[in-house]
Amino acid sequence: MTTTFSRRHFLQTAAASAGALLVVGFDTRGALAMTAQSGGNFTPFVKIYPDGTVAAIIKHFEGGQGTATGLSALIAEEMNMTLQDITFETAPADNARYANLFFGAQGTGGSSAIANSFMQYRTAAAATREMLVGAAAQTWEVPFDTLSLKDGVISGAGQSGTISEFVEAASAMDVPAEPRLKDPSEWRVIGVDQKARLDTPAKINGSAKFSMDVQLENQMVVSIKRSPQLGGTVASFDDSAAREVPGFIMAIQMPNNKGVMAYAETTWAAFQARDAIEVEWDGSAAETRSTDALKAELLAMVNAAPEFRASETDLATSSAAIDAAARIIERDFYFPLLAHAPMETMGATIEPLANGGVMLHDGAQSPAAGHAVLSQVLELPMEKVQVNTMYAGGFFGRRSTPDADYLVELALAFVVTDRTRPVKLQWSREDDITGGYYRPAYAHKVRIGLDDDGNILGWDHRIAGQSIFKGTSFDAFMVKNGVDNTSVEGVRENPYQLPLHHIGLTDQDGPTTPNWWRSVGHSHTAYVMECMMDLCAGAAEKDPVEFRLGYLSGDGADQSRLAGVIRLAAEKAGWGQPLPEGHYHGFAAHKSFGSYVAEVCEISTETDGTVTIEKFTAAVDCGIAVTPDVIRAQIEGGIGYGIGHVMRAELTLEGGVVDQSNFHDYETLRIYDLSHIETHIVASSAPPTGVGEPGTPPAGPALANAIAASGAPLVTHLPMTANGVNFS
Amino acid sequence: MTISLNLNGKTHSVEADPDTPLLWVIRDELKFTGTKYGCGIAQCGACTVHIDGAAVRSCQVAVGDIEGASVTTIEAVSGPEAEAVKQAWQELDVVQCGFCQSGQIMQAVDLLAQHPTPSDDVIDTVMGGNACRCATYTRIRAAIHHAADILEA
């Protein structure tokens, strides 16, 4: 992944849209439509209202990760105003203007929002600033350099005026080819440690609107009855009991036969009607396997010759060195299927518009996907499909899937109607947990050879699991020589300089629709790497932190930055210092999505071995820290997501049917599981990288290593509670 | 049937089956969408409202059972505890996705009304039923302590 920013691309985009948008506006519903008298868009990313209010147009949805605040901070900085004074609006669907510069399409993922936008948003706002100041200079007939913009006021040369006075004149100016960006020494927003999330007020008074909150006049709510057996299809159905449900409208078999859609006046009626529909399922193409058998298959795969090689070093060379070593350490690992289970279950609404088009109301992780799906399924030209991107109640990757699942369902639910009423699709929690869109299960097998002094001589690492990207439209980008990079990322390109490191991969024909899940491949690879580093350190009779640093002695940025967070986390946690009786530390560090995170987990144990997680101490190097407190929050949340799942979460299948259905048996982290997290951010002038995911990978292994430090066996098969660990 | 419901200080007449969970009447009939659906089985707390001042999972209350009771949602919760909790949530930037936070706040307001200076154990017990998949728990804990300080001051 590259962070190189194409200036030319920006300017073309900006030139195409600046000014022109001033008169046409971009929201066909009229709410935001503007005229030259009422305000202006100077670039796709900045809007100025007649009263001088500045709005950042955010191209990445806000699903809790703090993007709205982060992107607004970039605009506020170059508009030379405070975060408290700026507001934000979500961008419409428009790949030309709002593409994620790493993806080439509009969408959020890979912890890339700030990284791909950092130069783009600052440049956009700096251009806006120069146009406004330029317009003032022309009006007052004074040199440009004598004026400056601060807090919405342009002043200098004995003159002063608010930006709203110059919106119209500025909009007629050329977009500056190379606006001057503020020097970091002038920054008053970027890097300022403040609690100023822009979405906090709406989220503490109930006014924030999520997809689930859409309440349109005359809308129908659809709930879908899907096959309990993954992949089953409808043979026939009987809706006679559903007809008794007050508010029931109709039941229709999905055009793709994947379920029966219950339409009702309210969500509750739709759920009730859905439950009352009797379906005879065709299971001829459905999943029939159980996770016990699938797990056994994965473990057999990693104990056999791998299907693909993902390393320079081949198996024979690595194995020869290991076989000849003084000591060999080997472990296998198992990672179960996991649901993302964001608090807001999937759903979205299609609203028919007077012009024959539609508006999609969605917490859109990928507006481009919704835009394209609706255009195709409803056979509407792209310009007749609008997207209103709303708040998302968490996502962790779930609101975007390779097959755009819930958006396709919604489009099908709408297309079979007479298209006069809005249609809202709503998943229940049971739909979410049993829905089949999961982090695939993986097994790893690692064999490491050590010499008499505890130095690693060879590392054979085999992974088996279901590929996330094979067979999707991203196949060409993500799969090379048979290896889906997301199956091996974190083992491959790990900053540790390991000798004779062989990486083998075997694909499993898995049971689910695989989906990226917060930190994707790193969600399992970091666990294995960091547990094995601890085992090696133990065998070498070396301190785990010192042992890790020994493999990061190179001059590369990867090595020095990972070593930097390792040292910082160790120092802040008091690593190596005496702990209270019955308390233990565990360490883990990992690079993902360009960011480096080290975490120390402190646990205490009771005499019967019951584990209490006392504290996490984290250090993160994510380059320039744009909004430090948002970074801290993401590391906190990432740690919670990481440990929450390794502790208790697992989905199992019996005959292709998911055993779990809701939070009572797909257990989530609770407030009593974790009381204290301390996050330290490395000061850096490197380009910013993401924080939404990188906090998650080290959390599980830090906990596992702490438990092992207490004298209990290292937990290699997850979740921990199913493998001998009790938590208080 | 027609049910009379006192919500946020106003009496509403609702056409609903008396077995309908209060949650869905609040959201789909009365359009107060600050109260959220998260699980439907009292496992997550996202639907927490106050009935006569006490925190209750609205997904488990049949609307036909609460005639005459006074229901308050996040949109209208008020009083010293509510003000302190909201101030603390704001000052500590507790929220991430925010979807569970209405329920967290409603539960925390009730907690502080019962326990003006709660211990961590009390917080664990009372807030343990409110799930947050973003794991804002450490900030929720800190914010409850902060709100207790605000109330004491």
Judge whether residue A25 has pLDDT over 80.
no
Inter-chain residue contact A637 with B136, CB threshold 8 Å: yes
Inter-chain residue contact A663 with B140, CB threshold 8 Å: no
Question: Which residue has 């929220």 as its token pair?
Answer: B95
pLDDT class of A8 with cuts at 50, 70, 90: very low
Class of domain A211-284+346-426: alpha beta
Predicted pLDDT at A41? 66
Inter-chain residue contact A342 with B123, CB threshold 8 Å: no
Q: Alpha-carbon distance A217 to A362, whole Å? A: 17
Contact A79, A46 (CB under 8 A): yes
Tell how strand A423-426 and strand A347-352 pair up. antiparallel
Residue B68 Cα, gap to closest chain A Cα (Å) = 23
pLDDT class of A17 with cuts at 50, 70, 90: very low
Interface test with A, best of B25, B58, B96 (most A CBs within 10 A): B96
**Which residue from B minimizes the CA distance to A643?**
B135
Inter-chain residue contact B137 with A669, CB threshold 8 Å: yes
Inter-chain residue contact B97 with A663, CB threshold 8 Å: no
| Cβ within 8 Å of residue A568, ≥6 positions away | A598, A619, A680, A682
- State whether residue B8 sits within 8 Å of chain A by CB: no
Predicted pLDDT at A15? 30
Mean pLDDT value across chain A:
93
A433-465 pLDDT, tens digit each: 999 999 999 999 999 999 999 999 999 999 999
The DSSP result for B109-124, as a single string, is HHHHHH-SS--HHHHH
> What is the pTM (predicted TM-score) of this model?
0.94
Question: Which residue has 């728990």 as its token pair?
Answer: B137
Q: Alpha-carbon distance A263 to A373, whole Å? A: 21
Contact A534, A708 (CB under 8 A): yes
- State whether residue A207 sits within 8 Å of chain B by CB: yes
**Which residue from A minimizes the CA distance to B18?**
A246
Predicted pLDDT at A160? 98
Higher-scoring residue by pLDDT: A64, A5: A64
Judge whether residue A36 has pLDDT over 80.
no
A356-401 pLDDT, tens digit each: 999 999 999 999 999 999 999 999 999 999 999 999 999 999 999 9
Mean pLDDT within A609-637? 98
Q: Alpha-carbon distance A363 to A459, whole Å? A: 43
Q: Alpha-carbon distance A562 to A486, whole Å? A: 21
In chain A, where are the structural domains located? 7-204, 211-284+346-426, 303-338+438-723
How many CA atoms within 13 Å lie on the side-chain side of A232?
A: 23
Mean pLDDT within A520-528? 98
Judge whether residue B55 has pLDDT over 70.
yes
Inter-chain residue contact A64 with B98, CB threshold 8 Å: yes
Beta partners for residue A572, in sequence order: none
Q: Alpha-carbon distance A61 to A33, whole Å? A: 21
Judge whether residue A32 has pLDDT over 70.
no
Judge whether residue B149 has pLDDT over 60.
yes
Inter-chain residue contact B93 with A392, CB threshold 8 Å: no
Predicted pLDDT at A40? 60
Mean pLDDT within A552-581? 97
Judge whether residue A529 has pLDDT over 90.
yes
Inter-chain residue contact B39 with A429, CB threshold 8 Å: yes
Residue B11 Cα, gap to closest chain A Cα (Å) = 20
Cα A260 to the center of its chain, rounded Å: 31
CATH superfamily of B80-152: [2Fe-2S]-binding domain (1.10.150.120)
Please list every residue in chain B whose beta carbon sits closer than 8 Å to the beta carbon of residue A195. 91-93
Inter-chain residue contact A266 with B128, CB threshold 8 Å: no
Domain B2-72: give its CATH architecture. Answer: Roll (3.10)
Q: Give the H/E segment covering residue A559.
A: helix A557-573
Fold classification of A7-204 is Aldehyde Oxidoreductase; domain 4 (3.30.365)
Inter-chain residue contact B39 with A196, CB threshold 8 Å: no
Mean pLDDT within A548-552? 98
Interface test with B, best of A671, A677, A678 (most B CBs within 10 A): A671
Inter-chain residue contact B37 with A212, CB threshold 8 Å: yes
In chain B, where are the structural domains located? 2-72, 80-152
CB-CB: which of A205, A215, A221 is closest to B75?
Answer: A205
Please list every residue in chain B whose beta carbon sits closer than 8 Å to the beta carbon of residue A203. 95, 98, 101
Predicted pLDDT at A154? 98
Inter-chain residue contact B101 with A199, CB threshold 8 Å: no
Inter-chain residue contact A65 with B96, CB threshold 8 Å: yes
CA trace torsion A561, A564, A566, A570 (10° rounding): -170
pLDDT class of A10 with cuts at 50, 70, 90: very low
CB-CB: which of A636, A663, A664 is closest to B135?
Answer: A636
Chain B, 29 to 68: residues with Cβ < 8 Å from chain A are 29, 31-41, 43-44, 46
Tell how strand A653-654 and strand A583-592 pair up. unpaired
Predicted pLDDT at A172? 83
CATH code given to domain A303-338+438-723:
3.30.365.10
| Cβ within 8 Å of residue A367, ≥6 positions away | A61, A91, A92, A93, A98, A106, A107, A387, A389
Q: Alpha-carbon distance B103 to B123, whole Å? A: 14
The DSSP result for A386-405, as a single string, is EEEE-B-S--TTTT--TT-H
Percent of chain A with pLDDT over 70: 94
Residue B89 Cα, gap to closest chain A Cα (Å) = 7
Question: Which residue has 């200036």 as its token pair?
Answer: A7
* Closest of A18, A363, A55 to residue A175, by C-alpha: A18
Q: Alpha-carbon distance A230 to A440, whole Å? A: 14
- State whether residue A440 sits within 8 Å of chain B by CB: no
User: Which sign does the torsion angle of CA A307, A311, A314, A317 carry?
Assistant: negative
Percent of chain A with pLDDT over 90: 89
Predicted pLDDT at A192? 97
Question: Is the omega angle on the peptide bond into residue A719 within 30 degrees of 0, that is, cis?
Answer: yes
Question: How many Cβ atoms sit within 10 Å of the Cβ of residue A710?
Answer: 16
Residue A176 Cα, gap to closest chain B Cα (Å) = 36
Cα B17 to the center of its chain, rounded Å: 23
Residue A460's SS3 state is: strand
Predicted pLDDT at A35? 30
Size of interface A-B (CB pairs under 8 A): 182
